[in-house]
Amino acid sequence: MSAEEQMIIIRRNDFLDKLTPANYETLNILHNYIIADKEAYIYFDAQYINKLYFVKEGFVKIGNIDDNGEELVKEILQPGDVFGQFMLERNNMNGEFAQAHKCETILCSFTIQDFEKLLEIRPDMGIAFSRKIGQKLKNVENRLLNLLQKDVRTRLLYFFWTILQQKQIKEGNAITIPNFLTHEDIARLTATSRQTVTTLINKFSEEGLLDVDRKSITVHNIKLLQKEAKVG
């Protein structure tokens, strides 16, 4: 892939597209361009990671390994998301892993020091980054409340609602979006079993709420989904 093609991909971001050509040259952005093969680990233990990453293309699975050697999946990130040391300090990420999920993934990474240098050059981007991290933390809080306060059916519907919100879809009666999740992924992210997820998804289809296959998620009635998911 040429440098020009890499730059086009890097600019596909709600944050990094604000950089000027001079910013890219000063920060040597192309040096931070990473391609991770399908299922490859971007990092396996974040204890010594001094970087933050922006997802450009593909998906990234974030999780931990428990004492029994089982994966605990915390989130699956999409293009535009940020992960790693996004608080810009050596916070406790001991044991966290990040893995390219389902396909080849393209990232742009920065050391904390280089990113702070970027914010010195472009202090206006500090506000945009703060908003981005604030939204990320809000999403984590909402997901936790969903797990604690809702029954299995409701929290699964709420999960599909949050996917629509990530796509910034707020109006219309029906919508089809690409599916990057397996039933196992959904089960882990909603703290339920794969069998329960499959049973409920089949029921949602019978009720005319939504359909899920390997390539797409189709919501037939967005307003009804919002009501059934008990969105506040």
Q: Are residues 114 and 201 in the same domain?
A: no
Q: What is the CATH number of the domain that holds 203?
A: 1.10.10.10
What domain count does the chain have? 2
Contact indicator for 165, 184 with CB cutoff of 8 Å: no
Q: Are residues 111 and 185 in the same domain?
A: no
**pLDDT beyond 60 at 186:** yes
Across the chain, what does the average pLDDT equal?
Answer: 83
Domain boundary among 97, 126, 143: 143
**pLDDT beyond 80 at 189:** yes
**pLDDT beyond 90 at 132:** no
Per DSSP, what are the bridge partners of residue 24? none
Per-residue tokens: 135: 């939204």
Q: What percent of the chain has pLDDT over 90?
A: 31
Give pLDDT tens digits for 76-128.
Answer: 998 888 998 888 876 667 778 999 998 999 998 888 888 888 888 888 888 88
Q: Are residues 106 and 180 in the same domain?
A: no
- What pLDDT does 198 receive? 96
If pLDDT is split at 50, 70 and 90, which confidence band does 7 have?
Answer: very low
Q: Are residues 134 and 206 in the same domain?
A: no
Most confident of 66-70, 174-178, 211-215: 211-215
Q: Are residues 10 and 110 in the same domain?
A: yes
Give pLDDT tens digits for 136-163.
Answer: 888 888 878 777 888 999 999 999 988 8
Domain of residue 114: give its range.
3-143
Q: Which of 176, 216, 183, 213 is nearest to 73 (CA)?
A: 183
Domain boundary among 121, 143, 165: 143
Q: What is the pTM of this model?
A: 0.79
Q: Are residues 87 and 40 in the same domain?
A: yes
Rg of the Cα atoms in the chain: 19
Q: What is the CATH number of the domain that holds 107?
A: 2.60.120.10
Q: Are residues 171 and 192 in the same domain?
A: yes
Q: What percent of the chain has pLDDT over 70?
A: 84
